[in-house]
A and B are shown apart, each in its own frame.
Chain A
Amino acid sequence: MLEELIDVALRRGAQEAEAFYSEVEETPVLFEANRLKQLNGRQVSGVALRVIVDGRLGAASSSRPGDVEGLVEMALEAAPYGPEAHFSFPAEDGYPQVETYDVAVEAFPLDDMVHLGQSLIDAVRRQQPELVCDASVRKAIHRVVGLNSNGGSFQYRRTIFSVGVHGTLVRGTDMLFVGDSQASCQAIRDGSAVVGEVLRQLRWAERTARVATGEMPVVFTPQGVAGALLGPLATAFSGRMVHQGQSPLAGRLGERLYDRRFSLWDDPTLPYRTGSRICDDEGVASRRLPLVEEGVVRHFLYDLQTAGMAGAEPTGHGSRGPGGQVGISPSCLVFSEGEMGLEELVREVGEGLVVEQLMGAGQGNVLGGDFSGNVLLGYKIEGGEVVGRVKDTVVAGNVHRLLAEALLALGRGRWVGGSLYVPPIAFARLSVAAKG
């Protein structure tokens, strides 16, 4: 169908055309309130078409099977009013070898998925029987095919397997939320890493503690880094934000803006990560891209259009949204790490706060790197130990400034959510406000 789409589009007056097909076949096994609740089967696919007509870009997408006429008509209708195209579709067809497919995922028996899910819930509730848990075990197969009128062509398959468990404990109006999940292109047979994380959260939250308002050392767990710091940090590396001058990193390539111990790269060529791929959704080949090397800003992320506008090289970070539209997003972000585990980091810090989940992150001047929020799950550190869970506590800071001026230590990293490798990070001082 993709060839036909391109042929018809060219015949109707497009100078260039590109068709993109994606398909997901997913089987989630869902547990609610400690028991198996729902089994799903999702088989959805869609086609996106982009055309360039007289230098302008038109786009359309459809999930109606065989909708060639509809797609071409919609894309051609949009093109005369569309943005000026600052690129040509790439002619590449040779791509790196990237491992994204595990036949064991496809073959993973349903019964085993059910057992795995139930075992997560049981293991967590052995420690805290009052916990009400939801859990999910999912397997999915993605298939992606892309083709363009300049000879570019790619296709790959990716399997994804994920497990997660989340628990709620309610006492009066006091609520505790714990949880963790893990994802990979390979089958996960053992949920002990996820269980271990949740048990630690429960242990650390067993008692309550109070922190005083003021500046103090703060440790972000890998989940805390992913939830609270990553958004404001990653936004600054979007080529679009840089090109529009909205990123505080605009014009600062090559400058050392962060602590030397901090490096960050994006690597879609890593084997079996959920963001791994041979190329991006526009057919630009994958490669390991350093964003920060020993504190020095090295690259930004680009799709074709933004790279064209900015006069930069496309980096292979064009990513399709649900309506087929192309945006910029990282694939697998990897942080530099240190030697210490989370507990050692806590010992190192001595006194302060651990942030695991922040609520209300994403508000404020995110473009400038600000983050702030209510500590939904966090703990007080006293004498090098976690002494209990804190409540009614708000933290606020700026991720760029923290990584430049206040980095105390990076701990040993772990994968959070399948495509993000992050260490726990300790900062020397962060502003903390506590009620009462």
Chain B
Amino acid sequence: MTPDDLREEMEKALRGWDVDYVEVRIDETTSTRIVYRGRDLEEIGRSRSFGGNVRALYRGGWGFVSFNDPRDLRRRVEQAVAQARFVGREKSHLAEVEPVVAIVPLEVGKDPRLVPLARKKELLDQYNELIWSTPGVSSSNIFYSDAHKRVLFASSEGAFVQQERIDVTVRIGATARRNGDVQQASVSLGALNDYSFVETLHDEVQRVARRAVELLDAPYVKPGVYPVVLDPILAGVFCHEAFGHLSEADHIYENERLRELMVLGRRFGQPVLNIVDGAAVPGLRGSYRYDDEGVPAQKTYLIKEGVLVGRLHSRETAGKMGERPTGNARALDYRFPPIVRMTNTYIEPGDATFEQLIADIKEGVYACNWYGGTTSMEMFTFSAGEAYMIRNGRVAELLRPVKLTGNVFETLMNIDGIGRDLAFNQGGGCGKAGQMPLPVSNGSPHIRIRQCVVGER
């Protein structure tokens, strides 16, 4: 079936149901993945995922049906409607939005679908060879993927949205080993609708390989509390993990205590701190025109001058909290209902130079790059891929990778310096409620945290 046929079927299937709301989403993703582990190419594969779902709302209860076969769509709608009616006992809250009808054209730079598989493999072979030609490297891993996705969405309110995107991601890692000591370095990169960055990674790959080897000779940090400066990548991840998830309204809207904690107007940081999320910021991994409920993308201030001023919503959380929807309802694919997710989350630039940020730090840690991290809303832990001591206002010796941990609220308050060099990390994927990896980007300039617990990784 062509998209036009599907649209007709979807709109037909949605007519005439006695529920508060019902929607159909159908998506198709065609992807290529190439994986190296060590010297060997481990996998080269192509896949196509095709399927759809129906979501129905009746008196506050949801029904959700997912499937692969798009025929007999009306029967699927009937199932979801019956489920919603079985569950619904209260009142539906869905923030009002103007139903959008839009077919969004794909604006693509270099299209990975037009690059022959042979050419992609040749390039990755070069990168793998570059890693292995670095003395001291004991292993490598490379993950490449490109995926084209087309999503069709229609609702009982008359919305219809057709959107396409191409996600390109590359992760490159090197391992060095000496006498049972193992060190790793890696980089994750990505882009929306453009393959070209993949072609120019030679220097980056070499840097990663050398870094893994250098780490074998680096000293451990002396665990303790330090002033810490984060590079844009790590600061972006901090912003996403430690604060972003807290601002997702689905965590809050049904929990009275959390609503009190996350009340708008509450001070979370110093006046220099401004945090934004928005899919309307164009050209990034988390960018789109409409979310998976057909709500136009926006740019939402979460923290302005240190004060909580907004949060991320689906139509339901916005409706329930009496706030405006922000276009943050996203689904990984047809197997899942849309839930509140981040898009492009970043700390806005201030006016400090990097030199100014570290100038009055006598002994501190400069932590860069991202290795991993999680948050429990209250506490966070994340690891830096690279770290250096800061001594007397200067970046000093390379350290073994460090781990930063602490209380989210205290740490946000402790951010007291913000650089002017905003940069985005596009290599990440976010996970929530089993939906992973969802394309997002995180960004920040260099930031300074007055004090933070730093440990060995």
A→B interface (CB under 8 Å)? 32-33, 36-46, 58-65, 67, 70, 74-75, 77-78, 80-83, 110, 130, 132, 168-175, 177, 240, 244-246, 248, 309, 323-325, 359-360, 362-365, 367-368, 372-374, 376, 392, 394, 396, 433, 435
Contacts and interface: CB of A to CB of B under 8 A. Distances in A.
B111 to A, nearest CB: 17
B97 interface: no
Given A41-B79, A63-B51, 9 more contacts: A33-B255, A38-B337, A39-B62, A41-B63, A41-B83, A42-B335, A130-B257, A170-B258, A360-B374
B44 A78 contact: yes
Among A32, A40, A67, A309, find the residue whose CB has the most chain B CB atoms closer than 10 A.
A40
Q: Which 3 pairs from chain A and chain B are nearest by CB?
A: A360-B381, A33-B254, A170-B257
Interface stretch (B102-110, B190-198, B351-359, B403-411): B403-411
B33 A325 contact: yes
B31 interface: yes
Given A38-B63, A171-B257, A365-B182, A83 B41 contact: yes
B376 A175 contact: yes
12 contacts: A38-B63, A39-B63, A39-B64, A64-B50, A64-B68, A77-B46, A81-B117, A81-B118, A82-B41, A132-B255, A240-B37, A365-B182
Interface stretch (B287-295, B387-395, B424-432, B449-457): B449-457
A396 B261 contact: no
Contact of B335 (A44, A81, A360): A44
A373 B44 contact: no
B379 A40 contact: no
Contacts of A173: 261, 378, 407, 409
A62 B50 contact: yes
Contacts of B271: none
Q: Which of A43, A58, A172 has the most CB of B within 10 A?
A: A43
Contacts of B441: none
Contacts of B374: 359-360
B322 interface: no
A41 B64 contact: yes
Given A170-B257, A175-B377, A363 B48 contact: no
A323 B47 contact: yes
A80 to B, nearest CB: 8
A193 B373 CA distance: 32
Given A43-B66, A177-B376, A364-B383, A325 B46 contact: no
B149 interface: no
Contacts of B41: 81-83
Contacts of A78: 44-46, 117
Contacts of B183: 365
B405 A374 contact: yes
B135 to A, nearest CB: 17
Given A41-B66, A168-B255, A325-B43, A63 B381 contact: no
B68 A63 contact: yes
Contact of B50 (A63, A80, A365, A374): A63
Nearest to B36: A83
Contact of A170 (B86, B87, B255, B457): B255
Interface in B431-457: 453, 455-457
Contact of B44 (A82, A110, A130): A82
Contacts of B31: 323
B261 A38 contact: no
Contacts of B121: 81
Contacts of B28: 64
A59 B44 contact: yes
Contacts of A170: 255, 257-258, 261
B301 interface: no
B188 interface: no
Contacts of B138: 245
Residue among A41, A240, A365 with the highest chain B CB neighbour number at 10 A: A41
B182 A38 contact: no
Contacts of B80: 41
Contacts of A323: 31, 33, 45, 47
B3 interface: no
A82 B335 CA distance: 29
Contacts of A77: 46, 117
B44 A359 contact: no
Interface string B39-75: 0111111111111000000000111111111000000
Contacts of A245: 138-139, 177
B40 A61 contact: no
A171 B223 CA distance: 30
Contact of A396 (B37, B61, B409, B456): B456
Q: Identify which of A42, A60, A172, A368 gathers the most chain B CB atoms within 10 Å of its CB.
A: A42
Contacts of B375: 359
A41 B65 contact: yes
B124 to A, nearest CB: 10
B265 interface: no
B75 to A, nearest CB: 11
A425 to B, nearest CB: 22
B84 interface: yes
Contacts of A362: 372
B137 to A, nearest CB: 13
A59 B65 contact: no
B261 A367 contact: no
A171 B257 CA distance: 7
Contacts of B381: 359-360, 363, 373-374
Contact of A40 (B65, B182, B254, B261): B65
A173 to B, nearest CB: 5
A233 to B, nearest CB: 16
B153 interface: no
Given A45-B68, A374-B405, A174 B38 contact: no
B48 A433 contact: no
A368 B182 CA distance: 7
Contact of A61 (B38, B48, B69, B453): B48
A185 B289 CA distance: 43
Query: Which of B43, B47, B64, B138 is packed against the most chain A CB atoms within 10 Å?
Result: B47
B175 interface: yes
A376 B381 CA distance: 11
B50 A39 contact: no
Contacts of A168: 255, 258
B62 A37 contact: yes
B117 A38 contact: no
Nearest to A36: B87
A188 B258 CA distance: 33
A58 B32 CA distance: 12
Contacts of A36: 61, 87, 89
A60 B42 contact: no
Contacts of B37: 240, 244
Nearest to A173: B409
Contact of B261 (A43, A82, A172, A394): A172
A44 B378 contact: no
A44 B67 contact: yes
Contact of A37 (B49, B51, B66, B87): B87
Contact of B139 (A110, A244, A374, A435): A244
A209 to B, nearest CB: 17
B48 A62 contact: yes
B84 A39 contact: yes
A363 B255 contact: no
Interface string B87-126: 1010000000000000000000000000001100100000
B383 A363 contact: yes
A373 B404 CA distance: 10
B382 interface: yes
Contacts of A42: 65-66, 335
